[in-house]
Homo-oligomer: A and B are copies of this chain.
Amino acid sequence: MTITSVADLGRAARTAAADLAVRTRAEKDAVLHAMAGALVADAAAIIERNAADVERAREAGTADAMIDRLRLDDSRIAGMASGLRQVAALPDPVGEIVRGYTLPNGLQVTQRRVPLGVVGIIYEARPNVTADAAGLALKSGNAVLLKGSSSAAASNEAIVGVLSAAAESAGLPGAAVQLVPGGHDQAKELMRARGLVDVLIPRGGAGLIRSVVEESTVPVIETGVGNCHVYVDAEADLAMALQILLNAKTHRPSVCNAAETLLVHADVAAGFLPSALAALREAGVTVHGDHRVQGYDDAVVPATDDDWAAEYLSLDLAAAVVDTLDDAVAHIRRWGSGHTEAIVTRSLEASRRFAATTDSAAVMVNASTRFTDGEQLGFGAEIGISTQKLHARGPMGLPELTTTTYVVTGDGHVRG
Residue positions of A touching B, CB distance < 8 A:
18, 21-22, 101, 103, 107, 109, 111, 114, 116-117, 194, 198-199, 213-214, 217, 219, 221, 237, 240, 243-244, 246-248, 251, 333, 351, 353, 355-357, 359-368, 370-372, 376-378, 388-391, 393-395, 403-415
B410–A364 touching, CB < 8 Å: yes
B18–A359 touching, CB < 8 Å: yes
Q: Which residues of B contact A248 (CB under 8 A)?
A: 414
In angstroms, Cα B376 to Cα A103, docked, is: 9
A415–B103 touching, CB < 8 Å: no
Name the contact of A117 in the complex, choosing from B219, B359, B414, B415 (C-beta under 8 A). B359
A107–B356 touching, CB < 8 Å: no
In the assembled complex, 29 residue pairs joining A and B whose CB atoms fall closer than 8 Å, in A order, are A18-B357, A21-B356, A107-B367, A107-B371, A109-B378, A116-B389, A117-B389, A198-B390, A219-B219, A247-B414, A248-B414, A351-B409, A361-B405, A362-B406, A362-B407, A363-B406, A363-B408, A365-B407, A366-B409, A367-B409, A367-B410, A370-B415, A371-B408, A371-B415, A372-B408, A389-B403, A390-B390, A394-B406, A395-B406
The chain B residue with its CB closest to the CB of A378 is B103
Interface SS, A side:
mixed
Identical chains bound together, number: 2
Q: Which residues of B contact A247 (CB under 8 A)?
A: 414-415
The chain B residue with its CB closest to the CB of A354 is B407
In angstroms, Cα B99 to Cα A395, docked, is: 14
Q: Shortest 10 CB-CB distances between A and B: which pairs?
A: A367-B410, A247-B414, A389-B403, A367-B413, A391-B391, A240-B412, A362-B406, A390-B391, A365-B409, A370-B415
B219–A410 touching, CB < 8 Å: no
Q: Which residues of B contact A109 (CB under 8 A)?
A: 377-378
Q: Closest CB of chain B to A173's CB: distance in Å?
A: 15
The chain B residue with its CB closest to the CB of A104 is B378
In angstroms, Cα B66 to Cα A342, docked, is: 54
Other CB < 8 Å A-B pairs besides A116-B389, A355-B405, 11 of them?
A: A107-B367, A194-B213, A213-B217, A219-B219, A219-B388, A237-B412, A365-B408, A367-B413, A390-B403, A393-B403, A394-B406
